Structure 1
Amino acid sequence: MSEAVMTTRRQADGTMVADVRGSLDASTIDGFRTAFLATLHGERPRLLIVDLTFVTFMDSIGMGMLVSAHESAREQGTRLTLRNPSEFVHRQLRVTGLTDLFSLPATPNPQSFRF
């Protein structure tokens, strides 16, 4: 699998957006976790959006990290949301019952998928 890369940017309203690229799996999760926690604790945003547009693969380790990230954000008073999951990632989240946790629709909007 490929490396997971996370870049961040702050919007004018103070929202942090974390763009994630690559795979979220056992071989890449440590780097993603480190980058995510550094952003969460260093920036302390009120809202942190994790954009999954370019996540090509995610297994149970990746899903577990997203749940852990959600809990860490909540404990700090940050609201974490996911944006633009690919069809594959959305299906993984739906099958495991995690779409509600991340406020994602039960049925993805096909226009949001990028090829």
Structure 2
Amino acid sequence: MSEAAMTARRQADGATVMDVRGSLDVTTVDRLRAALLDALHRDRPRVMIVDLTLVTFMDSTGVGLLAGGHQSARDQGTRLVVRNPSDFVHRQLRITGLAALLGLPPAGVAPGWRMGT
């Protein structure tokens, strides 16, 4: 069974950061979706940053979670962006056309590129 955790924290600039750890797959996505939606509705941030630094795997349900989270955020006037995906996850998001929508740089951008909020 896969394990995952998602915790929310507020930044000084008012953005909410969701730190995601583990796998985003069919066994974890419902729990993570609930945490994401709860933070969106509770905090109502201007920007929601989903930090994928510690995500070890993501399947199509994880891609769907990010797409649905983007739509839910947009519906309430929040900009949802993704930060620090692995090369594998970044490639999945590029292939599905979600990378630019989620604030990720195009392929081939030099390391050290920083996303602005």
Provide the residue aligned with 1:48 in structure 2. 48
Number of matched residues?
112
Provide the residue aligned with 1:17 in structure 2. 17
Is residue 100 from structure 1 mapped to residue 91 from structure 2 by the alignment?
no
TM-score, length of structure 2 as denominator length: 0.89
Where 1:99 maps in the other structure, the secondary structure is coil
Is residue 88 from structure 1 mapped to residue 88 from structure 2 by the alignment?
yes
Letter in 1 for 2:60: S
Q: Give the Cα–Cα distance (whole angstroms) in 2 for the partners of residues 28 and 110 of structure 1.
A: 32
Structure 1 residues 10 and 37: alpha-carbon distance in aligned structure 2, compared to 1, 3 A threshold: same
Higher percent of residues as helix: 1
Query: Contact conserved, 1:16 with 1:49, CA < 8 A, in 2?
Result: yes
1:66-77 equivalence runs, <5 A: 66-77=66-77
Deviates more, 1:77-86 or 1:103-112: 103-112
Provide the residue aligned with 1:63 in structure 2. 63
Letter in 2 for 1:91: R
Shift of 1:103: 2.0
Letter in 2 for 1:90: H
Root mean square deviation of aligned Cα: 1.5
